Each structure stands twice: as C-alpha cells, then as structure tokens.
Structure 1
Amino acid sequence: MPEVIFAGPEGRLEGRYHPSDDPAAPCALILSPHPKAGGHMDHRIPVAMYEQYKRRGFSVLRFNFRGIGRSMGVYDNGQGELQDAAYALDWMQSFNQNAPFSWVSGYSFGAWIGMQLLMRRPEVAGFISMSLPTNTYDFAFLAPCPASGLVTYGTNDSIVPADDVDRVVEKIRVQKGTQISTHPIEGADHFYTNHLDITMDVIDDYLDEHLEDRYCPPREPRLLGFDG
C-alpha cells in the first residue's frame, strides 16, 4: 500500500496507491466521506472499497481531499473537492495509459463527488455509491446519468432516510442501456455499523455481474476490522 503524494489544484494531495501487475488493468478511484465530518482516506469504508478493487486486479487509488492529512488546501464546499478527484484520476491514469476503463466508488459525501465526476469523465464505466446524500445535495446534474452503477443505503439511516434515496434515484434519468440499481441494507445505519461486511458482499455480487470474469476472482474471507 505505497504512500503517494501528487499534485492537486491547490498543492499536494496525499494518497494510497496500489498499481496492478497488469499494465492493461482498469483503474478504480475511491472517494472518502465529508472532510468536515471526520472523513479521510483511512476511514473503514474507503479502505474496504480499496481492498475490493485490489483483489480484482485493478490499479486503485484512495486519497485525502484538500485540507485533510497531508493534503494541502482548505475545504471548498464540494467544488474544490471535485477538482481534487479529477486530479487524482488524472494522476492514476498517467501511470495506466492502457487502462480500458475506470470505476469510481464513494461513500456519503464521496459518493456525491463521484457522481459528479462520472458526468465529466467518459472513461468512467461504472460506479458504487454508498449512503448517497440525496437529502443534502441536488442531483439534477445527472441529466442523464452516463454510466450504470449501484447505490446502497441502510434502512435505518437516520441521516439520509431510505425513502429519500428511493425518491431521488427514481427521478434520475439515465442514458439508453444504463441503469442505476439500488440495494437497501436491512437494519443498517448511515455508517453500516455491524453491516459493512454484508454490504461489501452485496457490492461484490454487483461487480461480479457487471465485470468480465477475469476481474472476478474467487471470494476470499474478508479481513477482520472492516465491520463494526
């Protein structure tokens, strides 16, 4: 899990990068929760997402948004953080110029940033959005959504009510041939307390269904410490 520092729009950004052994492997970018709510790249959910793509042979990067850890800059209400994500994807792609496509996975605030990023980057072929903050941000920019993806949410989420996620996702238009799938996690809260392993299994099932067999290795026991 090499530590990396790369240029961002406001100075250096700090990340963790796993390069694939395959020079033609796809890429995955992992986006963290809200910087003002304790969000950082070593949060248990971004780490779980990172390990998920790593097992599948992707080149994968997670990083700290501006102002977090050793990343320079200050919080910018999402606009600057979207720029950070674009710079991060550029940096990773500079080392993976033969990558056939990229995926973006984000949690909460990071899911909102990821949905905006895929609207701007046609190489993003799919997304995973956990606890999408539909009651905080406007998703009208998805007009239409250009890639298929999965949205997971907890049925006991007191921060983003499950009904609100369903309401917003149902209204999102998608391009022909694409689909936004939703999967409620029964009993889970916004943080997937005691439900993270179950949720990652749901996401693995989705990835197995939508990726080629070579990116779908046999399941391994999950590392202890993700759930809690």
Structure 2
Amino acid sequence: MSDALPFQSHVKAVEDLHGPVGRLEAILNTGREDALYAAVVAHPHPLGGGTMHNKVVYHAAKAFSSFGLPVLRFNFRGTGLSEGVHDEGRGEVDDVRAALDWMSERYRLPILFAGFSFGSNVGFRACCGDARVRGLVGLGLPVRAEGRDYTYGFLPACRAVPKLFISGDHDQFGPKDVLESVLVSAQEPKRVIWVEGADHFFAGTAQSPASKLGTMNAGIRLWLAEEFGL
C-alpha cells in the first residue's frame, strides 16, 4: 500500500456500537477498499478529561489513517454520550472488546490496536490473547497517575504479536526507569521509543517546549511500515 495514491479519509459518526452497558459513542475514519488492517484507538482516563477527541488519540488515529486503514475511536462508558458509568478500568476492558467486535464484524480484517495512557492499559488487557489483534501500540503507558496504580502482569501473555511502546522521556506518570523495568517482561517482537523532551501528553518540556506529537506520529508510521509492510 506504500505505492498507493494519497488517500483522503472521511470521518463519520457510528450509531450502532454497543457494549455491555449500552451504546458507546464512536467515530470512524473510513479506509481504503483494499485496506489490509483495521485499527481501534482508545482514549486516556475519563476522570482526567480523556475522550476520543484527545490530541494524542487523534494523532495516533491519523497515523493509521495515513495508510488508508479504517480507524475506530470511541468513548468509554460514561464518557461523552456513551451510556453507563465509569468502572475504574474493569468494565472498560469489555468496552474495548465491543469495539474489536464491531470492527471485526464490519471489516473482516485483522486489527491493530493503539491506546493512550489509561486506554493503553485497559486496551492491552482486552487485546492480549485475542487472535484478531495483530499489533499493539502503547502510548504513554502509565505506572502511577492521580493516585491510581497500573500493573502489567499480563504483558508476558502478549506473545508473538508485534508491540510498540512510545513514551516521553519526561513522562510524569510513567518515569523512564520504572517503565523500562516493566517493559522487560514484554515478549518480542517489541520496540520501545523514548521521545526526547516529551512529557506524558507528548507536549514539550521547559527545556524543549515544542510539541512532540509529530514525533510520536512518525514513530507509529515507521513501525507500521516496517512491521506490516504498509
């Protein structure tokens, strides 16, 4: 697909995505008819203001869409117009599974998943071991944020699936030394990218104030091209 003509994605609302507790608000970036994969992207913690319109989520979706892949973004239960109430990461795992089901039924394509912060932890728990998911992207994996601890004992179960981890080297919720010790347990194939001068949200630091979202986007696109031949 790398030699294909430039593709203009269209965005449309999804009205028929339902999880265990009701409708989940979602939007779809349409893909090429010859797309080889479909993608699902999950947002950060709702209690911190996270939604499917978050900048990191948007730029991640844009990276997948640049290859002509259909991309689904959705709001977790209790966020935006999604029904239900926030469930501290428990029921949200089922929300991700509902999104995977919807994309699988609609496109019948292998799925690539990306999640940011809370969305990465919840999403990896849903996707690890799911044969439909062929690639995983964790953006800003959190270790401790706003009094919440995140654990990754499930990572070794993600065998043989290509994994990409991108975090800022000044991530306040996933310090580099701590996260490195966590990622040791992730099975190959894996790639870890530390974005220099970036915080948890891929914004700049005092020493390097420019946004790092473009660097994050480029890291995803390079990985997609090299791992999946897109």
Find 1:4's aligned residue among 11, 14, 17.
14
**1:83 and 2:100 matched:** no
Matched, 1:197 2:214: yes
- The aligned counterpart of 1:121 is 130
- Which of 152, 162, 166 is the aligned partner of 1:152? 166
Residue 184 of structure 2 corresponds to: 170
Aligned 1:67-82 pairs, distance under 5 A: 67-82=78-93
Q: Between the two proteins, what is the percent identity of the paired residues?
A: 32
Alignment partners' CA distance in 1, 2:224 and 2:34:
21
Distance 1:143 1:207 in 2: 22
Secondary structure of 1:33 counterpart: coil
1:2-81 to 2 correspondences below 5 Å = 2-5=12-15, 6-22=17-33, 25-81=36-92
Which amino acid letter does the alignment assign opposite residue 95 of structure 2? D
- Is this contact kept in 2: 1:156–1:187, CA < 8 A? yes
Instruction: Pick one of 102, 115, 118 that aligns with 1:106.
Output: 115
TM-superposed CA distance for 1:120, in Å, is 3.7
**TM-score under structure 1 length normalisation:** 0.86
Q: Could you tell me how far apart the structure 2 residues matched to 1:24 and 1:184 are?
A: 29
Distance 1:123 1:93 in 2: 8
Corresponding letter in the other structure for 2:224: L
Q: Deviating runs (4+, > 2 A) in structure 1?
A: 18-21
Equivalent pair of 2:31/2:70 in contact (CA under 8 Å)? yes
How far off its partner does 1:52 sit?
A: 1.3
Deviation at 1:24, TM superposition (A): 5.6
Give 5+ residue unaligned stretches, structure 2. 1-10, 204-210
CA RMSD of aligned residues (A): 1.4
Does residue 224 of structure 2 align to residue 207 of structure 1? yes
Q: Which amino acid aligns with 2:153?
A: A
